Amino acid sequence: MRFLLINVLVLASFMQGKAQKPSLVKNSTAATAGYNIPITLQPLTNCTVYIGSYFGKSMTLVDSTRLDANSKGVFKGNKKLTGGIYFVVSPNYTLQFEVLMDDKQQFSITGDTANKEKAFTTGSLDNDLFKQYTAFSTEKGKLRMQLEAEYKAAKTKADSTKFRDELIKIEQQMEKYREGIAQSHPNSLLTTLFNTMKRPTAPAIPIVNGKADSTYPYRFVKEHYWDDVAFNDDRILRTPFFESKVDEYYKYYVSPDPDSIIAEVNYMLLSARAGKEIYPYLLTKFTNKYINPEYMGQDKVFVYLFENYYAKGDTILLNPASRKTITERAYSMMANQLGLAAPALNLTDTTGKNVSLYNVKAPFTLVAFWDPTCGHCKEEVPQIDSIYKAKWKALGVTIFSVNVNEKEVPAWKKFIADKKLPKEWIQVHQLKEDRLAEERAGKPNFRQLYDIFKTPTLYLLDADKRIIAKQLSLQQFDNLITVKLKK
């Protein structure tokens, strides 16, 4: 099990780094006693220093104080800070050292910029535990680095085994130390951090009915990945490791199919709902991830988030511009999810004749929305032509080609002629009067129905005009057609 906080090199890298210079944000978490944290930071005098915290993968400053001629100042406020891992920042925005912000926010900090590792707090049990643990982990960390170097340099199997066993022994010692803190101080912030950071250890593969169950370790780790972690605890957001653990979970332990993702996202959000900071943070994180997803079809997750969270009141978390963007994008995606019937298209061809998408009879139809002035379109449309002539035409694939730029009809027709695009292609566009008539009738435009926010935008439909793929590369479309034909 990797334990990120104990890695001295990781901590050192944070301390040597520069904190960004954000505007100071006073914490809004309700509390009764507020915080009062005197600080002595030698040799700095007559200057401003800061206290900040992690916030997901970023850092933010939460308060400042002016040091006097004796290097003394006080961080104070009438509302408690959200618990978590905080750090002291120098006037030039260099991280000095970390402290734990527990519920008792009436402690003092003493440090020296020339001797950061000797900083200490007075009046905070969690920080006392943290200091003891840091000392222990620093000692073990140095030994581990030495053993890792010896393990890599080992020339015999016996030496490799010896050094590996020693490394395992160190990990066991660290685990035992953490378990001891958790047992003796179960309600401490440090125990909460331990629980959040830990990863389950995969057990040995069991034998079931004489066969090895190779999937059991994976299932075990997945089922226990979040043991003892409370998603509504805002304190875990103010650490440098919680969001990375979330990302790791979705990358390695959640199937990429949208329904599996939706189940996990929904569970996590419902569990976090009581958190004042972590709930909106996670909702925003998942929204940003799946509004432009990595894999085809995962935009279904974004649509789910809109319908089950934003549309039910959570748009109050957004500013007007974000609310407009998310709402418009959600409505654009709803009509073109995989497996749905493609929205009807009744457009005009180059001769002025009306053409309906649903009158096209073909085992597969590639609907291509493009702009004759678009640089990417000028490259990709001829590529579609090449694969069509080489393979797709013989397979019965129909190209339904839509010009989305009503102001460039002459350029569209010229491009068709210059590139000698096949006459079998259905070349259509929407007349301005037809667009205006739709607007007056309050009907959605094809640009919204097909989520055309960039060009080219491609969809592959089956014989019944159901959407089977979208926004893939031409090679991926071709591979899918091949697979479908074989079936």
User: What six digits make up the tokens of 163?
Assistant: 């050094």
Q: Give just the sign of the alpha carbon dihedral 231, 234, 239, 243.
A: positive
- Rounded CA-CA distance 417/409 in Å is 12
Query: Are 459 and 353 part of one and the same domain?
Result: yes
Nearest to 43 by CA among 92, 91, 113, 109: 113
For 336, phi and psi rounded to 5 degrees? -130, 35
Query: Are 220 and 257 part of one and the same domain?
Result: yes
Quote the DSSP letter at residue 46: S
| The domain boundary residue, chosen from 309, 334, 359 | 334
Percentage of the residues of the chain whose pLDDT score is greater than 90: 79
Residue 386: band (very low, low, confident or very high) from pLDDT cuts 50, 70, 90? very high
Query: Are 276 and 386 part of one and the same domain?
Result: no
Query: Are 440 and 324 part of one and the same domain?
Result: no
- Rounded CA-CA distance 280/257 in Å is 24
* 412: containing domain: 346-486
What is the pLDDT at residue 479? 96
Beta bridge partners of 77: 35
Distances (CA, A) of 284 to 60, 163, 259, 262, 386: 17, 45, 19, 15, 42
439: CB partners within 8 A, 6+ apart: 445
Residue 17: band (very low, low, confident or very high) from pLDDT cuts 50, 70, 90? very low
Examine residue 302 and state whether it is found in any structural domain, yes or no: yes
Query: Are 252 and 280 part of one and the same domain?
Result: yes
Query: Are 351 and 468 part of one and the same domain?
Result: yes
- Rounded CA-CA distance 307/6 in Å is 42
Return the C-alpha torsion angle 214, 252, 17, 120, nearest 10: -60
What is the pLDDT at residue 100? 96
Q: Look-up: residue for tokens 């096949």?
A: 422
Range scoring the smallest mean pLDDT among 43-47, 176-180, 205-209, 253-257? 205-209
- Rounded CA-CA distance 403/449 in Å is 15
Examine residue 218 and state whether it is found in any structural domain, yes or no: yes
Examine residue 169 and state whether it is found in any structural domain, yes or no: no
* CATH number of 434's domain: 3.40.30.10
Examine residue 235 and state whether it is found in any structural domain, yes or no: yes
Q: Which amino acid is at 208?
A: V
Examine residue 389 and state whether it is found in any structural domain, yes or no: yes
Nearest to 339 by CA among 302, 299, 309, 311: 299
- Rounded CA-CA distance 86/121 in Å is 13
| The domain boundary residue, chosen from 286, 306, 334 | 334
Quote the DSSP letter at residue 193: H
pLDDT at 22 over 90: no
Q: Look-up: residue for tokens 């002291």?
A: 88
Distances (CA, A) of 186 to 84, 85, 191, 192: 16, 18, 6, 8
Examine residue 474 and state whether it is found in any structural domain, yes or no: yes
What is the pLDDT at residue 1? 28
Q: Which amino acid is at 216?
A: Y
Quote the DSSP letter at residue 205: P
Examine residue 138 and state whether it is found in any structural domain, yes or no: no
Query: Are 469 and 405 part of one and the same domain?
Result: yes
- Rounded CA-CA distance 266/246 in Å is 14
Query: Are 400 and 292 part of one and the same domain?
Result: no
Query: Is 89:99 a contact under the CB 8 Å cutoff?
Result: no
Rg (CA), the chain: 30
Query: Are 367 and 446 part of one and the same domain?
Result: yes
Query: Are 320 and 353 part of one and the same domain?
Result: no
Query: Is 377:476 a contact under the CB 8 Å cutoff?
Result: no
Residue 122: band (very low, low, confident or very high) from pLDDT cuts 50, 70, 90? very high
Run of H or E including 96: strand 95-101
Beta bridge partners of 459: 367, 470
Residue 319: band (very low, low, confident or very high) from pLDDT cuts 50, 70, 90? confident
What is the pLDDT at residue 25? 39
Residue 10: band (very low, low, confident or very high) from pLDDT cuts 50, 70, 90? very low
What is the pLDDT at residue 315? 74
What is the pLDDT at residue 31? 41
- Rounded CA-CA distance 201/203 in Å is 6
Query: Is 78:92 a contact under the CB 8 Å cutoff?
Result: no
| DSSP strand pairing (397-403 vs 364-370) | parallel
- Rounded CA-CA distance 193/228 in Å is 10
Query: Are 408 and 388 part of one and the same domain?
Result: yes
- Rounded CA-CA distance 174/198 in Å is 12
Examine residue 11 and state whether it is found in any structural domain, yes or no: no
| The domain boundary residue, chosen from 314, 334, 354 | 334
Enter the pTM of the model: 0.83
- SS3 sequence of 434-484: HHHHHHHHCCCCHHHHCCCCCCCEEEEECCCCEEEEECCCHHHHHHHHHHH
470: CB partners within 8 A, 6+ apart: 296, 336, 338, 457, 458, 459, 460
Number of domains in the chain: 2
Query: Are 368 and 481 part of one and the same domain?
Result: yes
pLDDT at 202 over 90: no
